[in-house]
């Protein structure tokens, strides 16, 4: 259940055509930790996810968006 929720959060942030697979989620989780930055997370996801409509990381102000990485870290910590 935890990995399914994480896949949904990733899909929501990056608007993927399909949710990341269980295998892709596991690979992403193996590469992040509490010191992972948003930029590093974006790169990790971009490198691992294969089924995307498109991936673009613009320099727009994203301060009002949900911090998906923080949500994933909370799920991993069991909060």
18-40: pLDDT as tens digits: 789 999 999 999 999 999 999 99
Against a cut of 0.75, is the pTM above it? no
Is residue 66 packed enough to be buried (19+ CB in 10 Å), middle (13-18) or exposed (0-12)?
exposed
- Residue 9 neighbours by CB distance under 10 Å: 19
pLDDT of 64: 45
42: closest CA among 57, 59, 22, 60?
A: 57
């Amino acid at each position: 259940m935890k990995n399914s929720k994480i896949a949904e959060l990733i899909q929501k942030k990056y608007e993927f055509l399909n949710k990341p697979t269980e295998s892709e989620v596991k690979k992403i989780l193996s590469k992040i930790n509490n010191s992972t930055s948003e930029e590093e997370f974006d790169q990790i996801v971009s490198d691992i996810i294969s089924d995307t409509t498109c991936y673009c990381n613009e320099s727009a102000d994203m301060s009002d968006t949900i911090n998906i990485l923080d949500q994933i870290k909370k799920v991993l910590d069991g909060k």
